[in-house]
Structure 1
Amino acid sequence: MSEKFITIKEVALNNNCPECYSKDGLRLTFKQKFLDTKFYKSITADVSSSIACKTCNTTIYPVQWTDDIERVFEYHHRALEPKKASTYLKKLSWIAILFIAIVIAGIVFTVFYAKL
């Protein structure tokens, strides 16, 4: 099973970086979890976020956030519309479901017509 996080929204922030004090390097990124197995592909409701400064190449953790960064984060978090959680069954799943249905039909057919 492979788990990936797909970027669903990336925003350039106008706030000062707490590390290098640059005003044009902060990036807020929202990512959604994507699962891929042999039987299905699934988009989950799990959304993660991170803030990084592209000027000093530093990840800004919530402990380092200023009040301004926190307000901007909350605004973008409320405005975020993640993709709807969904599951797509692959061909192998459909084959397994069809096989199970045929086996059950065979058992039912044998039980009912063996009495005659």
Structure 2
Amino acid sequence: MSIKTHTLHTARLKNNCPTCFGTDGLEFTFTQAEKETPFFKKPATEIENKLYCQTCKNNIYPVNWTEDIERVFDYNKKIAETYKQYLKVKPLFYILVVVALLLVAAVVYILIPI
């Protein structure tokens, strides 16, 4: 099973960094994970977000966000479009279903005399 991460939206902010007070380094990144197995591929339901300051090279956690940053976060979260929820099955899944049906049919044919 592998998990791939897709970047949905990236936004540069003009707000002050709560750590270094710089105005040109903040960047929001919204990502979504996608789980892939030999049988299917499915995106995660939740969106992960990260606020990073390019100036002081720190992650800014939500505890330190100001009201302005929260407002910009809400706006950008609406812009970030998630992948639609789907379950994409792979050919191996179909092969196993057909083999299972054939086994059930063979057992029923053998056990029930005609």
TM-score (structure 1 length as normaliser): 0.87
Per-residue CA deviation, residues 59-100 of structure 1 (Å, 9 max, x unaligned), is 000011011001110111233321101122122212111111
Aligned equivalent of 1:25: 25
Q: Which runs of 5+ in 2 are unaligned?
A: none
Q: CA deviation at 1:111?
A: 4.3
In structure 1, what residue type is equivalent to 2:90? K
Matched, 1:36 2:59: no
In structure 2, what residue type is equivalent to 1:104? V
Q: Is the 8 A contact 1:12 1:25 kept in 2?
A: yes
C-alpha separation in 2, matches of 1:31 and 1:80: 9
Matched, 1:99 2:99: yes
In structure 1, what residue type is equivalent to 2:84? K
In structure 2, what residue type is equivalent to 1:86? Y
C-alpha separation in 2, matches of 1:10 and 1:93: 35
Percent identity, aligned pairs only, is: 37
Matched, 1:52 2:59: no
Q: Is the 8 A contact 1:11 1:29 kept in 2?
A: yes
In structure 2, what residue type is equivalent to 1:80? A
Q: Which runs of 5+ in 1 are unaligned?
A: none
C-alpha separation in 2, matches of 1:39 and 1:30: 27
C-alpha separation in 2, matches of 1:89 and 1:62: 37
How many residues of Structure 1 are paired with residues of Structure 2 in the alignment?
A: 114
Aligned equivalent of 2:110: 110
Q: Secondary structure at the match of 2:17?
A: coil
Q: Secondary structure at the match of 2:99?
A: helix
In structure 2, what residue type is equivalent to 1:98? V
Q: Which moves more between the two structures, 98-107 or 67-76?
A: 98-107
Aligned equivalent of 1:63: 63
Indicate the RMSD between aligned Cα atoms, in angstroms: 1.5
Give the strand-richer structure, 1 or 2: 1
